Amino acid sequence: MFDVSLTELMVIGVVALIVIGPERLPKVARTVGHLLGRAQRYVNDVKSDIQREIELDELRKFKTEMEDAAQGVQQSLNETQASLQEPVQQFRAELDEVAREASGKAAPVIVGDAGAEAGRSIAPPGQNHNLDLDLPAAGSAPVPAAAAQQPAPAPSAPKADDAAPAAKPVPPSGTPS
């Protein structure tokens, strides 16, 4: 902080000894030491507060950047979803048109109409290629969703007469039987 050499400190000490006197010099030196210690602690506290504020500012900026990046990713996902939905809807409409032409029906089908979707299929007669569109084959009765998702029955346990004969337990050696 200050550039004070040893000779300058000796001059200050001699002047203080002459001005203050040998009786009060230790008390004054102790008081000056306490005041310098307080000032040093105060400066260190201010420095740490400033450093803490700088770190908080950096964290706020980082948080803002992360929120902006998250919003950008979310917006990108929304745009991608929207761009993929349009071709899927166009493809579905084309499939509906082809299915109507193939079956000879000219009735309009509303997308999302479960009753109208039950009779549509793009698979040749006799084949059922659902492609996860939940469209049954043409001419077949619609299968309820609960019946279509039933698990296969578990294999039955072996019968008692099919099991191997039970083995007789053998007592450990050294024990009377």
Answer yes or no: pTM beyond 0.85. Answer: no
In tens, the pLDDT along 49-79 reads: 999 999 999 999 999 999 999 999 999 999 9
Q: What is the pLDDT of residue 124?
A: 53
- The runs of H, that is alpha helices, within 104-128 are 114-117
- Model confidence band, residue 42 (pLDDT cutoffs 50, 70, 90): very high
Nearest to 123 by CA among 137, 104, 105: 137
Three-state SS for 157?
Answer: coil
Residue 3 φ/ψ, nearest 5 degrees: -100, 95
Q: Do 119 and 138 contact (CB within 8 A), yes or no? A: yes
Three-state SS for 177?
Answer: coil
Q: Do 140 and 128 contact (CB within 8 A), yes or no? A: yes
Nearest to 94 by CA among 119, 120, 127, 73: 120
Q: What is the pLDDT of residue 65?
A: 96
In tens, the pLDDT along 65-114 reads: 999 999 999 999 999 998 889 889 999 999 999 999 888 755 555 555 55
Place of tokens 């948080």: 63
- Model confidence band, residue 17 (pLDDT cutoffs 50, 70, 90): confident
Place of tokens 């979707």: 117
In tens, the pLDDT along 159-172 reads: 555 555 555 666 66
Q: What is the mean pLDDT of the chain?
A: 75
Q: Do 138 and 125 contact (CB within 8 A), yes or no? A: yes
